[in-house]
Structure 1
């Protein structure tokens, strides 16, 4: 049993070690690969602390600790790579749409239009956070896009800021369960590629209920603190 669990134990240790031990985190994070397309798009990645690297090391540890033959390891790599093909196409499409909306200002325009409801804004604050995660594929990106909007709206409507910022983070986290990016990755993991629409339809009502309850809670806090 211990041998079977070894890859997961290695992965947990790697995650904890690369995040919680400052010298290790600093050393790994010092290696940065940056790029720029020349069209205003740029990015960077820290390859040594990236989850992909940690998963690769965990896979190698599994092969060593479980004494997997080179042939079996190669077969696993080839099989996984073939399964990633359709997933990669879908993920690139989703990310392209999200980045286009972000750089074109479309996402912000939609959110600013919704901010006109003023006093009732706390009810929709989590929905904006969830929307941001839905289109960007990341709760962090949603917070980057809309945190300033939430704070500005709070000041303009003379509402307490903290409940709206909390609602933004809450909604952004809730949006992960309906984010196409995450659904595509999840169904591929369990061998259900092609069932993304069915999965989204089944979990959307739950996400809507979750966001609604968060909005009611944010509204109650805003009224209490206001």
Structure 2
């Protein structure tokens, strides 16, 4: 007699297309919620800033509460309407929603403080120098010399002044503190639009900070490209120079176009 062996395969429950579809939809929903959670701090910060600046009743309310005023220095600071305040609120939200550990928060605070102190010190120095130049009449003298030397051609020189400031200081704030009064006074002397020259100062300065040697050195150090530092500086300087030339053409086209 022959022996018949019947082998039973292990039972597997077949999933219907509907089942797979349900699992897929569930995973997609979970991924969407996770992605929304990740970008939520940026969304909240953007919404806060737009609402606080574009909706007039809210803007007026924020500008009239918690305002710091120092009359002797003609200083006014609207705390609630400052982007920094909403950034602080967003940081608190991020700590709660992501349940960040106290140790990480404390380490981040210390690192931020280390970066903040040199920035504040340099900014105070630049602003103080600018105020001394203004009170001593140096800014007016330099503006007069620039106006007499270049005339309406000053519109071409203005971006290079801002660029030099950004290159030397590595800070758009510092460069503007040093040179924007000079630029505006020179523009007034030669009859150029002061707002246009102020824009040129700010734009050229912000572009030129990319080529600041200290910033290039920091970037090269982070990316472990110390040996390429001089080469990077040359290439970035060419990019900045091209941006300044392009800005000059924009200014000329704006004025005489």
Q: TM-score if structure 2 supplies the norm length? A: 0.61
The structure 2 residue matched to 1:78, chosen from 98, 107, 110, is 110
Q: Where does structure 2 lack aligned partners over 5 or more consecutive residues?
A: 1-34
Are residues 1:28 and 2:62 paired?
yes
Q: 1:107 deviation in Å?
A: 2.9
Cα deviation, residue 201, structure 1: 7.4
Against the structure 1 CA distance between its residues 82 and 23, is the aligned structure 2 distance closer, same or farther, given a 3 Å change threshold? same
Change over 3 Å in CA distance of 1:188–1:97 after alignment to 2: farther
Q: Which has the higher contact order (CA 8 A, sep 6+)?
A: 1
Partner of 1:16: 50
1:95 aligned to 2:130? no
Among 179, 187, 211, the residue aligned to 2:244: 211
The answer as to 2:94 corresponding to 1:62 is yes
Give the match for residue 5 of structure 1: 39
| Cα separation, 2, equivalents of 1:61 and 1:19 | 21
Give the C-alpha shift of residue 23 in structure 1. 1.1
Larger radius of gyration: 2
- Indicate the residue corresponding to 1:121 in structure 2: 154
The Cα shift of 1:165 comes to: 5.1
Q: How big is each residue's C-alpha offset from its partner over 1:64-96, in whole Å with a ceiling of 9 and x where there is no partner?
A: 211224443333323322332333333333332
How many residues are paired up?
209
Q: TM-score, normalised by structure 1?
A: 0.68
CA distance in 1, matches of 2:126, 2:235: 20
Once the two structures are TM-superposed, the CA of residue 106 in structure 1 deviates from its matched residue by 2.3
User: In the TM superposition, what whole-angstrom CA distance separates every residue of 1:92-137 from its partner, at most 9, and x where no partner exists?
Assistant: 3333223333333323322321112325333224335556777863
> How far apart are 1:8 and its partner, in Å?
1.4
Give the unaligned 5+ runs of structure 1: 155-160
